[in-house]
Structure 1
Amino acid sequence: MSKTLVWVEHDNAAVKDATLSAVTAAAKLGEVHLLVAGSGARAVADAAAQIAGVGKVHFADDAAFEHALAENVAPLIVELMGHHDAFVAPATTTGKNVAPRVAALLDVAQISDILSVEGEKTFTRPIYAGNAIATVESSDAKLVVTVRGTAFAKAEATGGSGVVEDVASTGDAGLSSFVGAEIAKSERPELTSAKIIVSGGRALKDSETFEATILPLADKLGAAVGASRAAVDAGYVPNDYQVGQTGKIVAPDVYIAVGISGAIQHLAGMKDAKTIIAINKDEDAPIFQVADIGLVADLFTALPELTGKL
């Protein structure tokens, strides 16, 4: 039976949700093994072993892995790939940083952002900003795959009985160093795991107007806040709010698009939402073509009214 190694994304304290979707995808390829590389992350390895369907957890504990620097992690993965047939990582910022280095070191072609597993080496993935779905088949001996989290159900975080096995560290490659991180903190749900998202676009005019218009509605709904690339580029909100092809891919139960025209790059990031609600004064805006509910109205009138009635 083939063996698949899954990169566990974590913060040295807990397993991140993106890993659970990657496990579901990996299970379609064969026996699932996980890799937890971190510093003082024994609790993460123990939690990973409880994920349903996991057979083994490889645990590498080294200060070199504390911040998941791809230059340090990739050689460790390549060493473990001697006993595995495929490497799977969630298509997150970290996963997209690690996987290409692994593919290059193994001299294989990476298959990115898969939507489904059609066979042992056959997958579907989006192309042309999601306007078409390509079916691709690998001819390489080893597979390197990244998984779009919204396309796969999350594996159960408990109920498994995996075995934790310590593995030797490959150490610090000396190619990069961690300088610092400025992480935005919010009491709102994390964008990629939120059930409700309220997103604003360029029509919000400036950061003050964005906050005064979008945040009250998001607070009433207990929703995460997103934005189009145009709003991010204009400086209304930070980069980590961006939804779209070059931002975060989301699939909430409800997605409310306010003042967003619906450029193809934005639609690629949110069209899998179960219910899409669009508010825009331009009745010809492309967003209405994918919306389940559309309101042609001035957002500065409609949103305060909607917020007031909640």
Structure 2
Amino acid sequence: MPFINPEVRDYFQENPIEEKIVKPFLHNFDITWAKKRKAFNTEVSVYFFKPEQIIIDNYGISREILAIYAPYYTIESRTIQATESFFHDFPAVGRVENLNFILISDCLSIDDWITKYISENPEFFRIIIGYSSQELLDAKGDGYFVRRRFDKYLYGRDLFDFRLPLKNDFLFFGRKDIIAKVYSSLMKGENSGIFGLRKTGKTSILYKIGRQIEAEKGGIFIIYDCKEWDIQNYRWYELLERICFDISKKLDYTLLKKISDKTVNSIFAEIIEYADKKGKKIIHFSP
């Protein structure tokens, strides 16, 4: 039998429509906490769902999962901002799953909205499992419907998509030997390269090395994505000019000469010499 915290039952007395909306989750979760919260000028209902064994076994989710009900027919980014703030507030912090959360909205096109939001915010690391309130009401307690949606979102998003290199440490695991070897070579002033098939994590490794360099103040980290259209269309001296400007900005170095195709080589050499005197290493990656 599903468990509903007595305080949650009291909450449902004041919000009976929400009890009907979350009913399908009771086949897979206990409901341990519920409260209305306001942040970023939006009010939502916040729930904690404690997974039953079938959810633990199928999806590896052992902690409670945060669920948000936004009673609006349109979703805005501030709903996600508010949710982020709840992750860091009591009682969620240290209690709920960090990687996933459930978003319920009156918006009928919630799937499309989530897809668009993720495409526009590729560094957003949490997986949003979305439901419209109407489809939950139509499900009438169908627990399989809830799990099918979990399948779609948890198994459907490729966290290692080559378009989405990992730019923070939350999802970065392993590759310690490669990182240590490349980092050591760079600190010795040696050149290094990382080669591999696409979607094997090369760019994610570069970003990880860059974070380590900056954290340990070991040098200046600059990365150029050669798939970008503007970089592909640079002449050689135009790209070197951009590199000069970027390094100068990082070093707080004032360029004394006007850069042109005839002067860019000598100016670049001056910048490198200045960096060497300052004890700075230039780490420049071009994936």
Q: What TM-score do you get using the length of structure 2 for normalisation?
A: 0.24
- Which structure: greater helix fraction? 2
Larger-gyration structure (1/2): 2
Q: Larger RCO: Structure 1 or Structure 2 (Cα < 8 Å, ≥ 6 residues apart)? A: 1
